[in-house]
Amino acid sequence: MTRKRVLSGMRPTGRLHMGHLFGALDNWRKLQETYDCFFFIADWHALTTDYADPSKVKEFTTEVVLDWLAAGLDPKKATFFVQSRVAEHAELHLLFSMFTPLAWLERVPTYKEQREQITDKDLSTYGFLGYPLLQAADILIYKAHYVPVGVDQVPHVELTREVARRFNFLYANVLLEPEALLTEFPKIPGTDGRKMSKSYDNAIFLSDPPETVTAKIKPMITDPARQRRKDPGNPELCPVFDLHKVFTPEAERKGVIVPGCTSADIGCLDCKAILLKHALPVLTPVSERRTELAKDPDAVRAILDEGATRARAAAGQTLQDVKAAMRI
C-alpha cells in the first residue's frame, strides 16, 4: 500500500523561532511518521517580494533547513528540497498561467491585503500576482493529498483546487484536488508579550543556546498587576503563563503556578525558574543538534541533493502527464 502524500513549504525568511516549532514543525514531525512527506523551501516565493534585494535568500535557506533538521525532521522519513532546484514547478506554473483567469488571482485575499500593507516594496509585479498560482504548481505537481498550512494559506489551497478542477475539465483527469490540513498554532507570545516574531525582536530562536533562552525569559513581561512581590496576579493575563501552557505539565500548572500566582505565594522569578526547568530540556537538544549540523555543511548539502533528486522524479512524472494532456 502506498502512503498518501503530504506537501508543504516555507519561505526562507530567516532563522525559525519557538512559534514555528510549536506550530508547523511539531506538526510536520508527526506527519512524517504516517505520510509520504515533501517539505521544501520556497525560495522563488521569497523573490516575489524581495526581488530588489535577494542577497539573503540563500543564507536564509540554509538557516531554515538547519532548523528543520534540528527540530527532528528526518531525511530518512521525508523528502526535503529547495524549490528552485526543481525547475518542473516553473514549467507547470507557466502552463497553468495559460488557462487561469486573471480575476481568480486578483481576488485572492492575501494579494489585496499585502498590496495595501507592504508599502516599502513595489508589488505591482507579474510575479507577485502569480504567487498563489506558483503555489498551486508546487502542490499539484506532487499530486499531494494534504497540505498542512496555517489558516492564512487556506485561500491558496482553495485556488489550487480550482486550478486542478479547471485543468481536469479542459484536458484530462490528471491532477488531484488537495485538502488543506489546518495547523493549530498555540499562542506563543514573544518576550514583550506581543506575538512572537523576528520583526518585533522578541523571539526565542531554535538556535538560541540555554544561556540565551534563560537571559530572554528572565526579564519577560508578566501580569502588570504584579508590581511588587506581594501583589497577587492573574496567570491568564501573563505571557509567561502562555509559555507554561506549552512546556509545563498541567498538574503543576494547576497545582503550583495558578494558586501560587493568584495568592502571591510565588514570585514571578520563581515562576520563570519553573518554566525554564521544563523548557530547557526541550529547547537545549534542538540548539545542540543545530550547532552540530551547522559544522557539517556537506551533510546538509547531501540531504538537499538527494531531496531534489527525489522531488524531480515525482514532479517529472506529473509534468509528463500534464503535457500529454495538453498535447504539447
Q: Which residues bind ligand SF4 (CB under 6 A)?
A: 222-223, 226, 233, 235, 238, 240-241, 257, 261, 266, 268, 271-272
Minimum CB–partner distance for residue 195 and ligand SF4 (Å): 18
Residue 138 interacts with ligand TRP (CB under 6 A)? Answer: yes
Residue 270: phi, psi to the nearest 5? -60, -45
β 79-82/146-149 pair status: unpaired
Binder of ligand TRP out of 11, 20, 143, 161 (CB under 6 A): 11
- Shortest distance in whole angstroms from residue 83 CB to ligand TRP: 7
Name which of 276 and 308 has its Cβ closer to ligand TRP.
Answer: 308
Checking phi first, is residue 225 left (phi over 0); if not, alpha (psi -120 to 50) or beta?
A: alpha
- Contact present, 83 and 40 (Cβ < 8 Å): yes
Side-chain-facing half-sphere of 81: CA atoms under 13 Å: 23
| 114 or 168: CB nearest ligand TRP | 114
- In angstroms, what is the minimal distance from the CB of 237 to ligand SF4? 8
Contact 93, 135 (CB under 8 A): no
Name the residue nearer to ligand SF4 (CB basis): 17 or 272.
272
CB of 84 or CB of 153, closer to ligand TRP: 153
Q: Say if CB 59 and CB 46 are below 8 A apart.
A: no
17 binds ligand TRP (CB under 6 A): no
- Of 236-275, binders to ligand TRP (CB under 6 A) are none
* Alpha-carbon separation of residue 18 from 15, 34, 128, 188, 196 (angstroms): 10, 24, 29, 7, 8
Amino acid found at 96? F
Rule CB under 6 A: choose which of 48, 61, 84, 135 binds ligand TRP: 135
Residue 7 grid coordinates:
506537501
Nearer to ligand SF4, 18 or 257 (CB): 257
Given the rule CB under 6 A, which residues bind ligand TRP? 7-11, 42, 45, 135, 138-139, 147, 149, 153
